[in-house]
Amino acid sequence: MTDRSRPVPSARLARLAAFGQIAGGVASGVLGEGVRRLARGERPQLPDLLLTPANARRVAGQLSRLRGAAMKLGQMLSMDAGDLLPPDLTAILAQLRDGAHVMPPRQLDGVLVQAWGPDWRRRFARFEARPLAAASIGQVHCAVLPSGERLAVKVQYPGVAASIDADIDNVATLLRLSGLLPAGLDIAPLLAESKRQLREEADYGREADQMRRYAALLEGDDRFAVPRPCDDLLRPGVLPMTFLPGAPIETLAHAPGDRRNAALGALIDLVLRELFDFGLMQTDPNFANYRWQADTGRIALLDFGAARPVAPQTAASYRALLRAGLSGDGARVRAALGAAGLVSPAQEARHGAAMDAMIGMALARLGDSRGGVFDFADRAILADLRDRAAPLVADRDSWHLPPAEMLFVQRKISGTALLCARLGARVPVLDILGRHA
């Protein structure tokens, strides 16, 4: 078995040096790729040289070693741009969702000694040193209490919370230097909101509170299971919770069609309830946050660090968009997109015809499912939408960022749709949407 243990660089200078290695490696890759293409008689543009599989491997490898906010931003890119980037780049970046490097035993022991004291092992009948999972903020271990109760223990990487601001600033600097972002695009509000959310994710006491809130909101809904935090062992860098068995959500692809579709329909319904009923949404759609319990038919919800309130005006904007879509009126949909800030006035003025065509295609696809099911596995429309969107993407001067809260909500919506597409769901979407309009 490959050893994936690597110490987490917690000192500021060590993390800064790692970003320097990323920049240096990417620059070397750009130079080499540029020489190769020039030798073939091509005239490559900088973005073409940056977005190569070799550079994606360099960045993914370094971010998986850094962990923390840097890796979290890479995970966001891997999901949000998954249908826009070439398949080979998407596959490489997807490695960031499959798991980070893990702490070596000595570093792990140091974190647990700090949390529970030098005799921490006496608190457990068993504590498994090899983690069940490793992500951007921490890794998860299985443990058994003397009573026999099984726990999942999330252990935060040392130095991660303190490095959030610097990591995000460093990633932003790399993006600006790369030329991938237009010089006039103001990303400061998004960076500030990203820092705030990641600080909240690193606050395990807050996550325990959100876990309790979701358990209360979903009480009686037998489609979902929510763990319970173990308050006696809760510490700033350690979050123990009841262990919920289950398989990766991707295993639903092999389940009988009716069970798969029911489970994914439940996830779509959950997103809408979060948006319109709860006023609270878990905004990280990482597939690893869900587990499938084949014996009970339930989906275990595992991560609540990214749970955040949904502002009433945000919910109202999405309800207006939902109602416009259900009406089948393209002009009304376009007006709702503009009012929500999801498209800019410049995009509407310069690319209105392309936008109308894309809206028409989406409405036609939705209309085809009336009286039946929406087939997420049929992704032929994506290629047509990409072609229609090409002029908008190329017109960098018209780029703008929607309100940060809208982006986080949109991530959850898009991520849920991506999961449904990956698993080939066939769901009565119009019926589900109609219940929330």
Which residues lie closer than 8 Å to 224 by C-beta, 6 or more apart? 218, 266, 270, 298, 299, 300, 301
What pairs with residue 426 in β-bridges?
Answer: 375
Distance (Å, whole) CA 36 – CA 417: 39
- Residues 249/133, Cβ–Cβ less than 8 Å: no
Range from 2-6, 250-254, 373-377 that averages highest in pLDDT: 250-254
Tracing tokens 């900088």 back to the chain, one arrives at 46
pLDDT for position 351 = 92
pLDDT for position 175 = 63
Look at residue 19 and tell me whether its pLDDT is greater than 70: no
- Residues 29/55, Cβ–Cβ less than 8 Å: yes
- Encoding tokens for residue 403? 């309100």
Range from 81-85, 181-185, 341-345 that averages highest in pLDDT: 341-345
- Return the minimum-mean-pLDDT range out of 318-332, 391-405, 423-437: 391-405
- How is domain 104-156+203-243 classified at the CATH fold level? Phosphorylase Kinase; domain 1 (3.30.200)
Residue span(s) of the chain under CATH 3.30.200 come to: 104-156+203-243
- Encoding tokens for residue 48? 């073409």
Look at residue 60 and tell me whether its pLDDT is greater than 60: no
338-341, long-range: CB < 8 A, 24+ apart:
340/402, 340/406, 341/317, 341/402, 341/403, 341/406
Range from 80-94, 325-339, 396-410 that averages highest in pLDDT: 325-339
Task: State percent of the chain over pLDDT 90.
Answer: 50
Q: How confident is the model at residue 169 (pLDDT cuts 50, 70, 90)?
A: confident
Look at residue 396 and tell me whether its pLDDT is greater than 70: yes
Which residue would you say has higher pLDDT here, 121 or 27? 121
Task: List pLDDT tens digits, range 263-322.
Answer: 999 999 999 999 999 999 999 888 889 999 999 999 999 999 999 999 999 999 999 999
Section 132-151 average pLDDT: 91
How far is it between the farthest Cα atoms of the chain? 71
- Encoding tokens for residue 51? 């977005």
Averaged pLDDT of the chain: 81
Distance (Å, whole) CA 78 – CA 56: 11
- Return the minimum-mean-pLDDT range out of 36-45, 301-310, 369-378: 36-45
Which residues lie closer than 8 Å to 363 by C-beta, 6 or more apart? 325, 328, 330, 333
Distance (Å, whole) CA 306 – CA 303: 8
Distance (Å, whole) CA 411 – CA 372: 27
Look at residue 207 and tell me whether its pLDDT is greater than 70: yes
- Write down the catalytic residue from 284, 295, 387, 397: 284
What is the length of the chain? Answer: 437
From residue 143, how far is each of 122, 126, 285, 311 by CA, in Å?
Answer: 12, 6, 26, 38
Q: Is 368 a catalytic residue?
A: no
Which residue would you say has higher pLDDT here, 390 or 358? 358
First-last CA distance in the chain? 51
Which residue would you say has higher pLDDT here, 142 or 60? 142
- Encoding tokens for residue 94? 């997807």
Radius of gyration (C-alpha) of the chain in whole angstroms: 23
Look at residue 61 and tell me whether its pLDDT is greater than 80: no
Distance (Å, whole) CA 162 – CA 69: 10
Amino acid at 208: A
- Residues 142/132, Cβ–Cβ less than 8 Å: yes
- Return the minimum-mean-pLDDT range out of 36-50, 250-264, 302-316, 353-367: 36-50
- Return the minimum-mean-pLDDT range out of 83-92, 110-119, 298-307: 83-92
Which residue would you say has higher pLDDT here, 429 or 77? 429
Which residue would you say has higher pLDDT here, 425 or 55? 425
- Return the minimum-mean-pLDDT range out of 180-189, 246-255, 396-405: 180-189
H or E, element range at 231:
none
Calculate the CA 22 to chain-centre distance: 22
pLDDT for position 6 = 54
Look at residue 93 and tell me whether its pLDDT is greater than 60: no
pLDDT for position 174 = 64
Q: Is 237 helix (H, G, I), strand (E, B) or coil?
A: coil
- Residues 304/244, Cβ–Cβ less than 8 Å: no
